[in-house]
Amino acid sequence: MADITDRAALTARAVPFMTLSDGSPTSMTPPPNVPISTDAASGAKQRFTVSGNAIVAGGAGTLGLRSCNALLEHGLSGLTIMDINPSGSQKDIAALQSKFPAAKIRTLAVDVTDEVAVDAAVEEAARELGSVDILVSFVGVVGCVETLQMPVPQWRKIIDINTTGVFICAQAVARRMVKQGTGGSITFISSISAHRVNFPQPQAAYNVSKAALLSLKSCLAAEWAQYGIRTNSVSPGYMDTTLNEGDGIVKHREIWASRNPSGRMGSPSELTGTVVLLASGAGTYINGTDIVVDGGAILF
């Protein structure tokens, strides 16, 4: 009887319709009016100008901080670095504040798996900065373990942080953007691990969590375009950061470099241009895209 009742309820359900923008001048996705500048240097600068304020989630790591610096160099007015432990990078954050004295730069310690805390942090950032126009999410943890031996709690933790945590941040920021009525840009930092199985290290949970971001990015790009919100992702290859250092992975580093057409790992600076592109005026027609930045590793 319960099964029959459930089936009847299913057939009577009301399924929401997705709404797309019509692209008209009065919509949230109008065509830009960008005249050709009479001054070459000015035109080049304006093309990649980053306007407004950003939240960079998981932004206290090497990749996050380098991208924060680049966004500020291109005109970002205000920045909130949201991280589980931003105090661990206080020296680097202080250097940013010194380098960009006109920008509002602050930090918030937040657990991204706590939706109440994330929502409160986004609202606090909006109050302090005036608006939230950009989200870049570097949120992620790695777990390299043979899948036969992986404890289920470890699997759940990786998925909860890397996928659910990113969704929570995106939802909270998008709600704020819709409330503001100004649109915005959301960028997820995924990974080539979302596209190919890593070698030689086993890390199934991480790969699955990052692959999920590619699908999430596409879903949100379709749903939220009507609000003028663009959602994209970047898939870096192996980057030469402190997380990829140590005697325990020397052989791994050799293998990663040898399997890359460029013959090396990536520098953190090589990711920043893509992050700026997606957040800037040059990216207004880029939506639902994943950009791979890996020196060609994905080719094999």
List the catalytic residues: 191, 206, 210
AA identity, residue 19: T
Question: Which helix (H) or strand (E) element contains residue 269?
Answer: helix 269-279
C-alpha 240 chain-centroid distance? 19
Own/partner pairs, 84-93, CB within 8 angstroms, 24+ separation: 84/58, 84/109, 84/110, 84/111, 84/112, 85/60, 85/109, 86/59, 86/60, 88/60, 89/60, 89/61, 89/65, 92/60, 92/65, 93/60, 93/65
What's the CA gap between 78 and 130, in Å, rounded?
9
Query: Residue 120 CB: number of other CB atoms within 10 A?
Result: 14
Look at residues 296, 183, 199, 240 and name the one whose alpha carbon lies nearest to residue 66.
240
- First-to-last alpha carbon distance for the chain, in angstroms, is 54
Taking a C-beta distance cutoff of 8 angstroms, is the pair 241, 270 a contact?
A: no
Whole-angstrom distance, CA of residue 226 vs CA of residue 20: 5
Partners of 108 in beta bridges: 82
